[in-house]
Amino acid sequence: MRKNIIIANWKMYKTREEALDFIYSVSQAVPSKDLVESVVCAPAIMLRDLVKRQGDNVRIGAENMYYEEEGAFTGEISPKMLTSTNVEFVILGHSERRMIFKEDDALINKKVLSALEHGLKPILCCGETLTEMEEGKVEEVLTKQLTEGLKSVKKEDLTKIVIGYEPVWAIGTGKSATAEIAQSRCKFCRDVIAGLFGAEAEKIRIVYGGSVKPENIADFLKQPDVDGGLIGSASLNPQKYLAMVEAGIQK
Ligand code: 13P
């Protein structure tokens, strides 16, 4: 059985003090990692502070990285820098990186391969925009993002990756996908991955993101191909985050 994974993506929110308040509130309160996996992805400047206080059951992740180990790349963060802070995960290819910072699938693929090479677990995001959905291109978009994003990944590394299916029209809009849409898209992603990696696709975790909150997360988690949530605004509040992690415990 795939263990649910509940991932906070703080985006560009919280000061250092607010980040510390959050981790002090949740680190001892989250359920055991044997029951549900709990990850907090935060701005790079806060990662060390969070790792130091993560406790036994919370794991920390970055929100982005560059693929080179080091070099003249002003403002970028390398995989070596991330591993030296002991973070475990890194979000790659988030739609905000794709749209605002013009990241394409080829660049995202380099980041995925580099993260794996350095022992980091990539959370690879995919998802269609509203226009793409209206034009009937959902399957084409997801197939391209997954096929190019996972290019040259070794079969034995596949399950280190978590796929985040996030329809862009549901992010930060309060308009989440229905549980049925989330299920059918996550299943489609799994089928694409099965086409690339065979039976290993049954083991990879695929999470849904887009206006997930304590009130609706249970509906998503009931779906057979949804293995967790990738949560933006509702994850900023420690009580809401804890409620969503609790909902991830499989009964
Ligand atoms: P919201 O939960 O704020 O819609 O954000 C989703 C998201 O982008 C998580 O990566």
Is this structure's pTM higher than 0.95?
yes
Closest CA to 94 of 47, 54, 41, 29: 41
Do residues 160 and 118 make contact, with C-beta atoms less than 8 angstroms apart? Answer: no
Lowest mean pLDDT across 6-10, 42-46, 99-103, 247-251: 247-251
Is 88 within 8 Å of 120 (Cβ atoms)? yes
Q: Which of 175, 211, 216, 235 for a ligand 1 pocket mutation test, highest count of atoms within 8 Å of Cβ?
A: 211
What is residue 250's predicted lDDT score, i.e. its pLDDT?
Answer: 86
What's the rounded Cα separation, in Å, for the pair 151 and 28?
Answer: 39
Sole residue written with tokens 């044997």 = 34
Give pLDDT, residue 98: 98
Interatomic CA distance for residues 197 and 103, integer angstroms = 25
pLDDT per residue as tens digits for the range 40-99: 999 999 999 999 999 999 999 999 999 999 999 999 999 999 999 999 999 999 999 999
Q: Give mean pLDDT, residues 9-22.
A: 98
Indicate if 94 belongs to the active site: yes
Q: In angstroms, how far is CA 211 from the centroid of its own chain? A: 14
pLDDT beyond 90 at 1: no
Residue 251 has pLDDT above 90, yes or no: no
Q: Which residue in the list 37, 103, 166, 246 is annotated as catalytic?
A: 166
- Residue 149 predicted with pLDDT over 80: yes
Separation of CA 192 and ligand 1 centre (Å): 23
Q: Are 85 and 67 in contact (CB under 8 A)?
A: no
The CA 2 to ligand 1 mean position distance, Å, reads 22
Can you tell me the distance from the alpha carbon of 156 to that of 7, in angstroms, rounded to the nearest whole number?
A: 23
The chain-wide mean pLDDT, for the chain, equals 98
For ligand 1, the distance from its centroid to the CA atom of residue 72, given in whole angstroms, is 31
Superfamily of domain 5-247: Aldolase class I (3.20.20.70)
Q: What is the pLDDT of residue 210?
A: 97
- Ligand 1: residues within 6 Å at CB? 9, 94, 166, 171-172, 209-212, 230-234
Query: Exposed, middle or buried, 153 (CB in 10 Å: 0-12/13-18/19+)?
Result: buried
166 is catalytic: yes
* Structure tokens belonging to residue 130: 């509203």
Give the residue whose CA is nearest to atom 7 of ligand 1: 232
Q: 245: closest CA among 103, 59, 48, 111?
A: 59
Which residue, among 80, 99, 116, 72, has the nearest Cα to 171 in the 3D structure?
A: 99
- Average pLDDT rounded to a whole number, residues 184-209: 98
Contacts of 22 (CB under 8 A, 6+ apart): 14, 40, 236, 238, 241
Kindly name the residue from 63, 94, 128, 246 that is annotated as catalytic. Answer: 94
Residue 12 amino acid letter? M
The arithmetic mean of pLDDT across residues 179-191, rounded, is 98
